[in-house]
Each structure stands twice: as structure tokens, then as C-alpha cells.
Amino acid sequence: MISLRGIERVFQVGDQPVHALRGIDLEIEAGSYVSLMGPSGSGKSTLLNIIGLLDRASAGKYLLDGRDVTALSDEQHAQVRRDKIGFVFQFFHLIARLSAQQNVELPMLLAGIPAAQRVKRSGALLERYGLANRAHHKPEQLSGGQRQRVAIARATVMQPPVLLADEPTGNLDRASGRDVVQILEDLHTSGTTLIVVTHDPALGQRAHRRLRLVDGRIEQDLRE
């Protein structure tokens, strides 16, 4: 379903080209649970961003559901992100002036979904994640765990087949982290492809397929 061939990513730092990714070949089947691990600067976030179409590869081919997305325009990338990919970030990235529910509605707002349907779907998700009584709170009135659950609701409200999480527990205490992992794994169980970038070996070990990146190359690919 996700198919990367010969993916390179080169950043220009001053006049020095820096290879963040070198010749990545990777197939991820639909419904997998994959963790990306590796030291800082190994390129795992860059890889996640390329899979999420937030970033473009310098070279190589990327097929998503059999469709070559490397050649798509920025506008088309935006649409693919909206409909097929959900992002969960370490720092939540909720919009401070919007309530929890409005944050969850955001992707639907951009997709032009009518207000009544937005309220229904976001309300249902918040309830499922145990935030029904926090729907009208601003992010600053929520705990870290609650914020990340709002962010997960936002990432899944368009029911994307792929969920990408970049250090989803990196900014949470252990208990909140467990809740968040539970939610993510439940989503995986119900069929979503889950790719998690993490430093935390405990979290990484939970994945069914574990990739280890070093210096922009896949060094280890373990499957259960």
C-alpha cells in the first residue's frame, strides 16, 4: 500500500549537501503497525514527513495505494493529506483560539463538510476518547494527555487509512502516554495503518514491524 523505491532526501546546509535519507526501499502493507526508531538525525522524521506528503523526496518513487504521488502538485498533495493521512505530533499542534471540538472539526472545515455533520462527527469522536465534557474547552484548559487525544480525534475524523505519529508520547507522562498508545493501537486494530516514530524502546517494541534507521538508511527491519 505504501511503496517507497530509492527515496533520497538531500538538504542543502550552507554549501554542504546533507543526505537525510539514502536509497530507502520500503513496502508497508495496509493495516500494518510499524515503528520507526533510530538516533537523532537518523532521518526517521524526514521519512515520516515524506510518507505523509508534508515533504518531497529529492529522488525516488513513492506509490500510495498503487498511485505515484511523487509527481502530484502541491494542491493534490494537500487533498491526499486531508483524505488519506492523519498526523499526530509530539507537541499536539492544536490551535489555541479554537475549542477542542473546533480543532477536531478543522479537517472537515477545509473539506467543506456542512456544520451539522461536523458537529456530529467530532462530538462522537470526542466522546469515544473520553473528552465529551471537554469539547468546549480551549487547549490551554486541557492536560497534555487530553490535548493529545484531541489531536488524535482531529487526525482520525476524516477516517484516513494511514495514521502517522511522530513521538506521540514524547511530551506526556507515563499514564497519559499509555492512554494515547491504547487509542492508537485500537485504531490499528480496527484496520488503520499505524506508523509511529519514537525514541522510546518500550513503545517501539509494541509495533509488529520495527524499523531502525541510521544515517538515512534502514539498518534493521524486524517483523514478528
**Site residues for another protein per CB under 8 A:** 49, 52, 54-55, 74-75, 78-79, 81-83, 87, 89, 91, 93, 95-98, 106-107, 109-112, 114-115, 154-155, 158
Q: Considering the complex, what minimum distance in angstroms separates the CB of residue 82 from another protein? A: 2
Give me the sign of the Cα torsion angle 94, 156, 169, 48: negative
Dihedral (Cα; 223, 155, 121, 132), 10-degree rounding: 90
CA-CA-CA-CA torsion sign (209, 214, 89, 57) = negative
- Could you tell me the smallest distance in angstroms from the CB atom of residue 224 to another protein? 30
Q: Give me the least distance between CB of 88 and another protein, in Å please.
A: 10
Select 83 or 173, whichever has its Cβ closest to another protein.
83
Query: Positive or negative, the Cα torsion across 146, 148, 154, 156?
Result: negative
Q: Which is nearer to another protein, 107 or 145 (CB)?
A: 107
Query: Looking at beta carbons only, is 116 or 224 nearer to another protein?
Result: 116
**In the bound complex, what is the minimum distance in angstroms from residue 97's beta carbon to another protein?**
4
Nearer to another protein, 89 or 178 (CB): 89
Question: Which position has the grid cell 520500503?
Answer: 26
Q: Which is nearer to another protein, 99 or 210 (CB)?
A: 99
Cβ neighbors of 196 (< 8 A, separation 6 or more) are: 33, 34, 35, 36, 165, 168, 184, 203, 204, 207
Nearer to another protein, 110 or 202 (CB): 110
Minimum distance, C-beta of residue 148 to another protein, in the bound complex (Å): 14
Q: How far is the CB of 35 from another protein (least distance, A)?
A: 21
For residues 64, 70, 74, 80, the Cα torsion angle rounded to the nearest 10 degrees is: 0
Q: Of 51, 48, 37, 42, which Cα lies nearest the Cα of 4?
A: 51
